[in-house]
Amino acid sequence: MYRKLNVLLATLLLSALVLAGCGQGAQDDPANGETEGGETGGETTEVAAFPVTVEDSLGRSVEIGEEPAQIGSMAPSITETVFAVGAGDRVAGVSTADDYPPEVENIEQIGDYQQVNAEKVASLGIDVLFLSFDTTTEEQAQDLEEKTGAEVVVINPASVEEAIDSVGLVGEAVGEPERAQVVEERLRAELDQLRSEVEGLPEPTVFYEVGYDPLFTVGPGSFVQDVIELAGGQNVAADADQPYPQYPVERLLQQDPELYVAGASSGVTVEDIVNRSSYASLDAVQQGNVFVINDDLVNRPGPRIVEGVREMAETLHPEAFEDVETTNGGG
């Protein structure tokens, strides 16, 4: 159980602190107003001018001399972003954690959540390598550049707003700034709409389970806490001393949250949670307010992040979205 939990937490760090958002849906999804190759809105885009210089999350100025023909991504969220801005056909390497869009199954793997396979990156001739390890230092990034021959860009969004901002950074680095702008504008419009839908509603207390036995949750500095707050909820572990703390069950019982939410990637089900003998007194269990959600959407700071906020908001405030679902043909 500890091994499984460690892998889950590491995956979260890769995608949220890391932690990983759009895929086939990002490349060719009429429902999102997207067209093959990215969100162009049907307009012809101009060829980006190179060289370009981008500032990454470490504050490094990274100069990219020409449009990258081979792109490497070590985070599912960044991979999804590259596809969303129309450069998916140039992705030559991804991490072992990548699983979206479906096309990534046929792309070479160049590392896992612990390290990059520098030799593999070099052999693939990757021009730009995106990292999202929150522990990466300037020295390590420089060392990777020397070993791989790739320009290394580190992206570590700490909030939903920063995740949306990172779309523009990725777009500029891969030569698709206009398409990236379209994605950014769509995401901001959707997030503003969500904010308006939950504005003024009561903010229920929420516990978010990352893993169980031992129990882990999300705290301040975690990406999921930001999602919970944007969705109109209060994280009962907001006073924790780290982003992903181990949480005593006794403390959970004292807090007695109104809703209990868990991520599906841990393999847990609603039935598993409600049948825990120590949880019998929880108000969330007694009131039927236990939910399991698609945590890829809330953990990955990529182009599907607003879908994650919406998923959380619909979980916390289902009454606020009943009319919307009816209008969209739901029910």
Q: Specify the 3-state DSSP secondary structure of 153.
A: strand
Domain borders along the chain are 2-193, 200-327
pLDDT of res. 295: 94
Write down the CATH superfamily of domain 2-193. Nitrogenase molybdenum iron protein domain (3.40.50.1980)
Write down the CATH superfamily of domain 200-327. Nitrogenase molybdenum iron protein domain (3.40.50.1980)
User: pLDDT digit of tens for each residue in the chain (331 aa)?
Assistant: 444 444 444 444 444 433 333 333 334 443 343 433 455 444 444 566 899 999 999 999 999 999 999 999 999 999 999 999 999 999 999 999 999 999 999 999 999 988 999 999 999 999 999 999 888 999 999 999 999 999 999 999 989 999 999 999 999 999 999 999 999 999 999 999 999 999 999 999 999 999 999 999 999 989 999 999 999 999 999 999 999 999 999 999 999 999 999 999 999 999 999 999 999 999 999 999 999 999 999 999 999 999 999 999 999 999 998 765 433 444 3
pLDDT of res. 15: 44
pLDDT of res. 46: 55
pLDDT of res. 47: 61
**Neighbour tally for 167: CB within 10 Å:** 30
pLDDT of res. 281: 97
Each residue of 220-250: b (16+ CB within 10 Å) or e?
Answer: ebbbbbbbbbbbbbbbbbeebeebbbebeee
> E-strand spans in 5-90?
52-55, 61-64, 71-73
Q: Whole-model pTM above 0.75?
A: yes
Instruction: Kindly report whether the peptide bond that precedes residue 202 is cis, defined as omega within 30 degrees of 0.
Output: no
Tokens representing residue 138 in the block: 């300037």
pLDDT of res. 232: 97
The pairing of beta strand 61-64 with beta strand 52-55: antiparallel
The reply to whether 200-327 shares the fold of 2-193 is: yes
Amino acid at 282: L
| Cβ neighbours for 320, distance < 8 A, ≥ 6 positions apart | 197, 198, 201, 313
pLDDT of res. 21: 39
Q: State how far the Cα of 152 lies from the Cα of 143, in Å rounded to an integer.
A: 10
